[in-house]
């Protein structure tokens, strides 16, 4: 997963935030190594130099802690500090370190350890390594011009160790931040998938149920005068269908909606008969795995809904085989709002949802006309032996 690098303001973490205090504590522990230059400054005979260097050392320590926390915050949020800001912070640390020299003398060389560590947190990898190498070399070359300072191999070694330690910390912070970002993305995708599932199920359930209710209501209206007894039966069916639709919605919201092929075939017979469409159903249903049984049930539901709603057909045949389900009619198929035939392969929310269900089982959805004079077929095929 790629991460967009932003150059923005620092992360908004107040000093009351526990993670900010943890960062301050971690950075502050290492300030103990500034005790040597502090002691040297305290022992300096001239008061003005002592005040200047001690003030600079305290400011250096405070700015280092600030730089450490700020750099850590950027990395935790997978962001990059503006180069100008990073170099300004590092340059300010260098200036304060130079102001420590008059009072601390050779002991001021300990500040280069902190400069290397700050560079690792503030700068990109290549310039950070360059600064680290320069800081490690400085204790070795300065005595060439200032013999009184003596070669400080220990300081140079400390610079290398500090740079490696901070490098490890930065990598750990980066990996943790990437892991948290990945978890956040997974949660977001899970929510989006659940919303899509709920929308798909509600469309499939209500689209079919309301279509059947509409057809039966129209039929009951036509039968009121010519066959009141049958009209009363259709009204009873309307009440039953409305209750079933409400129960289906509740089950869908509860995320345990199940569809059975046998139930959908029975419902198809009732819906097609009410619409005056002759129906041909399979005599037997093959023994199907549960996932395929549900998929085929959704296919029958969607296919019959479209036949009743759009086709204007007189006959509909449903075929079920172990790896295939097919709903075929002799109507005109889907039509566009202007009344013309819709191109084959075009579908609404229901067909898109059905295609998603088929894809999850490795199946394929096929829709299209059966001939130039009309007829439409919806077919789902699944791989042999797949559930």
CATH of the domain at 309: 3.30.565.10
Domain count, the chain: 2
Give just the sign of the alpha carbon dihedral 109, 114, 118, 120.
Answer: positive
Note whether 265 and 170 are same-domain residues: no
Number of helices (H), then strands (E), in the chain:
11, 5
Note whether 303 and 173 are same-domain residues: no
- Whether 1 is covered by a domain: the verdict is no
Tokens describing residue 293: 């049984």
Q: Which helix (H) or strand (E) holds 280?
A: strand 278-280
The span from the CA of 192 to the CA of 197, in Å, is 9
* The pLDDT value given to residue 381: 93
* The pLDDT value given to residue 364: 92
* The pLDDT value given to residue 251: 64
- Whether 296 is covered by a domain: the verdict is yes
* The pLDDT value given to residue 379: 94
Q: Which of 151, 186, 221 is the last residue of a domain?
A: 186
Q: Which of 132, 157, 186 is the last residue of a domain?
A: 186
Which residues of the chain are under the pLDDT cut of 70? 1-30, 78, 151, 173-174, 177, 181, 190-191, 194, 196-208, 247, 249-258, 333-349, 385-387
- Whether 57 is covered by a domain: the verdict is yes
Note whether 166 and 279 are same-domain residues: no
Q: How far is CA 1 from CA 76, 124, 156, in A?
A: 17, 21, 39
The span from the CA of 291 to the CA of 295, in Å, is 6
Residue 76 CB neighbours (<10 A): 17
Note whether 52 and 142 are same-domain residues: yes
Note whether 172 and 36 are same-domain residues: yes
* The pLDDT value given to residue 15: 41
Q: Which of 186, 204, 231 is the last residue of a domain?
A: 186
Tokens describing residue 62: 């405070």
Q: Which of 294, 298, 295, 300 is nearest to 281 (CA)?
A: 300
The span from the CA of 277 to the CA of 328, in Å, is 12
120-126, long-range: CB within 8 Å, 24+ apart, which pairs?
A: 120/163, 120/166, 120/167, 120/170, 121/67, 121/68, 121/71, 121/72, 121/75, 121/166, 121/170, 122/67, 122/70, 122/71, 122/81, 122/86, 122/89, 122/90, 123/86, 123/87, 123/90, 124/80
- Whether 225 is covered by a domain: the verdict is no
Q: Which of 336, 344, 331 is nearest to 375 (CA)?
A: 331
- Whether 232 is covered by a domain: the verdict is no
- Whether 208 is covered by a domain: the verdict is no
Residue with token string 């998603």:
356
Note whether 166 and 265 are same-domain residues: no
- What predicted TM-score, i.e. pTM, was given to this entire model? 0.42
The span from the CA of 163 to the CA of 113, in Å, is 8
Note whether 182 and 266 are same-domain residues: no
Tokens describing residue 184: 């956040």
Residues facing residue 279 across a β-bridge: 316
The span from the CA of 268 to the CA of 318, in Å, is 9
Read off the DSSP letter of residue 308: I
Domain that holds residue 42: 18-186
Note whether 182 and 265 are same-domain residues: no
Note whether 266 and 181 are same-domain residues: no
Note whether 172 and 273 are same-domain residues: no
* The pLDDT value given to residue 347: 54
Q: Which of 163, 51, 76 is nearest to 114 (CA)?
A: 163
Strand order in the sheet with 376-381: 278-280, 315-321, 324-329, 376-381, 364-369
* The pLDDT value given to residue 250: 65
Note whether 46 and 177 are same-domain residues: yes
The span from the CA of 79 to the CA of 5, in Å, is 5
Tokens describing residue 355: 């295609």
Q: Which of 50, 58, 42, 158 is nearest to 109 (CA)?
A: 158
Note whether 265 and 177 are same-domain residues: no
């Amino acid at each position: 997963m790629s991460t967009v690098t932003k150059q923005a303001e620092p992360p908004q973490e107040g000093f009351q935030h526990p993670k900010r205090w943890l960062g301050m504590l971690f950075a502050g522990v290492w300030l103990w190594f500034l005790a040597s230059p502090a002691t040297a400054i305290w022992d300096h005979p001239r008061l003005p130099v002592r005040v200047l260097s001690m003030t600079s050392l305290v400011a250096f320590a405070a700015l280092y802690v600030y730089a450490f926390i700020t750099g850590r915050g950027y990395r935790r949020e997978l962001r990059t500090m503006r180069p100008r800001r990073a170099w300004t912070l590092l340059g300010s640390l260098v200036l304060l370190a130079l102001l420590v020299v008059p009072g601390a003398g050779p002991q001021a060389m300990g500040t280069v350890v902190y400069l290397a560590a700050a560079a690792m947190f503030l700068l990109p990898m290549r310039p950070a390594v360059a600064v680290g190498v320069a800081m490690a070399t400085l204790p070795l070359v300065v005595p060439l011009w200032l013999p009184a300072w003596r070669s400080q191999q220990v300081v140079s070694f400390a610079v290398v160790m500090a740079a490696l330690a901070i490098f490890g910390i930065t990598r750990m912070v980066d990996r943790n931040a990437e892991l948290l970002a990945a978890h956040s993305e997974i949660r977001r995708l899970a929510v989006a998938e659940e919303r899509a599932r709920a929308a798909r199920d509600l469309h499939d359930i209500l689209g079919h149920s309301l279509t059947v209710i509409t057809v039966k209501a129209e039929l009951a209206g036509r039968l009121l005068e010519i066959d009141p007894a049958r009209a009363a039966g259709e009204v009873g069916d309307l009440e039953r269908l409305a209750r079933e639709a409400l129960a289906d919605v509740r089950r869908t919201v509860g995320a345990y909606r199940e569809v059975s092929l046998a139930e959908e075939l029975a419902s198809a017979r009732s819906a097609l008969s009410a619409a005056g469409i002759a129906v041909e159903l399979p005599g037997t249903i093959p023994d199907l795995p549960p996932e395929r049984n549900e998929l085929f049930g959704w296919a029958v539901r969607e296919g019959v809904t479209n036949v009743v709603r759009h086709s204007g057909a007189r006959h509909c045949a449903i075929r079920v085989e172990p790896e295939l389900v097919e709903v075929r009619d002799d109507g005109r198929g889907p039509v566009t709002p202007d009344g013309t035939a819709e191109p084959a392969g075009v579908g609404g929310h229901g067909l898109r949802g059905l295609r998603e269900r088929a894809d999850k089982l490795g199946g394929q959805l096929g829709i299209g006309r059966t001939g130039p004079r009309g007829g439409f077929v919806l077919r789902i095929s699944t791989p042999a032996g797949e559930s």
